[in-house]
A and B are shown apart, each in its own frame.
Chain A
Amino acid sequence: MKEGYNMVKKKVSEDTTGNQKKVKRPAKEKPKHPFWVIVNKEVSDHVRSWRFIILVALIALTCLGSMYTALNNMGDALKSSKTGELFFFLKLFTVSDNTLPPFFVFISFLGPLLGISLGFDTINSEQNRGTLSRVMAQPIYRDYILNAKFTASMIVISVLFFALGFLVMGLGLIAVGIPPTAEEFLRVIFFIVLSIFYVALWLNLSILFSVRIRQAATSALAGISVWLFFSIFFNMIVDLIAKGLAPSSFAPEYVIVKFQKMILNLMRISPAQLYSEATTTLLMPSVRSTGPLTMEQVAGAIPSPLPLGQSLLVVWPQVTGLIAVTILLFALAYVAFMRKEIRSS
């Protein structure tokens, strides 16, 4: 990192002062904006770091594994559902035989880990090594550092997820031989974008921790504990509450529906729940509602897939919530960073 910023420093100085080098460049090329210089540097740091390589390998392996099971079970899945034939390609992302979870469950599980690992030492490690104040000595705005680091991580995540998504689609195309329809393709794109936002949420959370917590290890632990809390303990707590409040099994339908809606709303505090509801609805067009339904609402309904727009509208609250929390966390990290005393002690 230290060397990296020396290079940045060099480059910046070259850009501002080095007239000799400018001559060598084509006349029209402008010097790179310092913001993008930092972004470039951060991206290359991420890509070369061992923890990123390990995580990518882990995610890629699990994704390939889940795709393998999906392909193995494609035949059974098609036989069992008739509406599934319409969205054959999406099955690649959702079918499983319970030995390995499907693609989107893996993403919901490993995505947060990726986000946390990319962000937990964003600021504090720089500060601890004293490079932060050196960078700040350059003629750049202070928030460039945080924004550039966030942007770099986002670029890495986006490229990774699009690559994974297209990898699955491409391999699926080779294995299955049926091209996706335009709607299926769009659904997968929306799924990938949603996944990126979901990882961005955890990224922003860990950036916030890295700003607030001095020690990188503590910051990482804080992030991981939040992740563990939401992925393991939160469900247990909700179950406990549900058991305590559960109405009698002889209660009228509306009471039960009301209770289930309440439990579901409690579950939705967890971003993982929001993400899984949103992705399920996007990848399974036959899902018409995320909440419990009364018999009254189902009467007269034909089990048919929803158009993409309607699927999006069904999960729009979840999507809005995820994006809003992501932005909120970024805003918090931003404020914390801008108010921070950055001189190393």
Chain B
Amino acid sequence: MTVRKEWLILLLSVTLGITPSSRRVVSANNDVTLYTAYTKIAVPPGESIDYSVDLINKSEKIQTIDLDVSGIPYKWDHSLKSGGWVINELSVLPGEKKSFTLRVEIPFKVNRGNYNFKIVAADTISLPLTVRVTEKGSYETAFSADQPNMKGNSNSTFNYRAKLNNRTAEKQLYAITAEYPRGWNVSFKVSGKQVTSVELEPNSSKDVYIEIKPPSQVDAGTYEIPVHATSKSTSADIKLEAVISGTFDVDLTTPTGLLSTKITAGDEKVIELLVKNTGTSPLNDVKLTASKPANWNVEFDTTKIDVIQPRERATVMATLKADKKAIPGDYVVGFNAQTPEASSKASFRVSVRTSMLWGWIGVGVIAVALGSVFILFRKYGRR
């Protein structure tokens, strides 16, 4: 680039016949000096630097000095200013100094490295300056999250903060979208309001809050949710990670949901129970127990279920045996499904009925009595 610039100057000199050498006589002496404090500056891409430069006149007469910047990269905008004016030339009184500023705007699209250029006064005096670009710049949109990974259970809401940065030279309207599995809920908020798009001036940024709600029945695991900020010319992505820890929940019920039954005193009744894993993690070692009235008996075909996968269910047959002497009426029998993490109880209302045996014996007694009266009729009736 520097080569190119010099060629340009050469070309201009040749074609237009402008010879800067006309003032070289004045400036040839060493009475004029350029000074600035910060000669080597490290900046990120997209920054602008204001150099404050002093032109010092050490001679006895007024010096009018031609100023120029040479060797600056082609795409870097720069200007020389003093007293609010853009200048090319500066006059300094004898023994005094005059300040001017050099503003250099470093573009986004720049490679990392040192860039050297110099301020040239009267073609002979030069002030070399170095700008170190600390990182590789880009001419695009930056989208980043400060903490893209979060962990929570299926009931929690994941709140991410992302920063959207427009590093292009134009104003951009970004549409913000996310790809997420079905049942999830993702919303974007900018300054407290829910949005779907964000408008950004060049070289400005906004915080975008991303709220992710997993469905309550989501399996445990790590979910990646890419979020896109897309404008018509550029786009940027971030990948958010939601790590769902499993929940433990168990539900004990019956296939019909009916929690009452009838039983004759002294008899057995088989009750079908369903153990449902309503959580999102597998349940291990589900133990079944029962609380029952005295002298009753409850037996399970399996007292322990080894594992139930999420949303799966296991069927257990419970054999209920009522006390032989149980009085008729309603009793409570409780069934329990327990794991160290969760437990569920199903209370059964058991209506006990007494055996019909004594009823029939009573009927028999009355029948015998009636029969004997009938025999009496036959015997004494004098028919």
Contact = CB atoms under 8 A, between A and B. Distances in A.
Interface of A: 141-143, 288-289, 293, 296-297, 299-302, 304, 306-307, 309-310, 312-314, 316-317, 319-320, 323-324, 327-328, 330-331, 334-335, 338-339
Contact of B369 (A312, A317, A324): A324
B366 A331 contact: no
Contact of A301 (B330, B359, B377): B330
B362 A319 contact: yes
B182 interface: no
B331 A288 contact: no
Contact of B380 (A312, A313, A328, A334): A334
Contacts of B362: 316-317, 319-320
A50 to B, nearest CB: 32
Residue of B327, B329, B382 with most chain A CB atoms under a 10 A cut-off: B329
A288 B330 CA distance: 10
Interface residues of B, number: 36
28 contacts: A142-B382, A143-B381, A143-B382, A296-B295, A297-B326, A299-B294, A300-B292, A300-B294, A301-B331, A302-B329, A302-B349, A304-B330, A306-B328, A309-B353, A310-B328, A312-B359, A313-B328, A313-B358, A316-B358, A316-B362, A320-B366, A323-B369, A324-B366, A327-B370, A330-B373, A331-B376, A334-B376, A338-B380
A300 B362 CA distance: 30
B327 A288 contact: yes
A76 B377 CA distance: 53
Contacts of A289: 327-328
Interface in B332-383: 332-333, 349, 351, 353-354, 356, 358-359, 362-363, 365-366, 369-370, 372-373, 376-377, 380-383
Nearest to B362: A320
B248 interface: no
B373 A331 contact: yes
A-B interface, 3 closest residue pairs, ranked by CB to CB distance from nearest:
A300-B293, A320-B362, A338-B380
B193 interface: no
A225 B359 CA distance: 33
A299 to B, nearest CB: 5
Nearest to A311: B328
B232 interface: no
B296 interface: yes
Interface in B112-132: none
B353 to A, nearest CB: 6
Contacts of B377: 143, 334
A313 B356 contact: yes
Contacts of A300: 292-294, 296, 331-333
Given A306-B329, A324-B366, A328-B369, A314 B380 contact: no
Contacts of B349: 302
Contact of A293 (B296, B323, B327): B327
Contact of B354 (A297, A310, A323): A310
A327 B362 CA distance: 14
A328 B376 CA distance: 11
User: Among the interface residues B353, B369, B372, which one has the most CB atoms of the partner chain A within 10 A?
Assistant: B369
Interface string B288-305: 000011111000000000
A328 B369 CA distance: 7
Contacts of B358: 313, 316-317
